[in-house]
Amino acid sequence: MFGFLFGMRVNQTENRISDSQGHLSNTNTLTYVSSYIPWSGADSLYHRNGLVSMKTMNTLLQQTNQILLGWYSYRHNSKFKPSLKEYNLHTNLLKAVSCVVCPNDFLFLLCTTSCSENNSTHILNHGFMQLLDRQMTEVPMTVVNLGDTTRKEYHQIGNATVTASLRIKHILDNHRENHLSSPSGQMKEVQKVLLLAATLNNGMKRTQT
pLDDT digits (tens, 9 = 90+) for 95-112: 888 767 777 789 999 999
Q: How far apart are CA 202 and CA 62, in angstroms?
A: 71
pLDDT at residue 177, rounded to an integer: 65
Q: What is the pLDDT of residues 113-142, one digit of tens each?
A: 888 777 778 888 889 999 888 888 888 887
pTM over 0.75: no
pLDDT over 60 at 155, yes or no: no
20-33 core/surface letters (b: 16 or more CB in 10 A; e: else): eeeeeeeeeeebeb
- Which amino acid belongs to residue 56? T
Backbone angles phi, psi at 76, to 5 degrees: -90, 150
pLDDT at residue 154, rounded to an integer: 44
CB 10 within 8 A of CB 28: no
Backbone angles phi, psi at 82, to 5 degrees: -60, 135
- Which amino acid belongs to residue 93? L
CB 96 within 8 A of CB 54: yes
Highest mean pLDDT pick, 33-42, 84-93, 191-200: 84-93
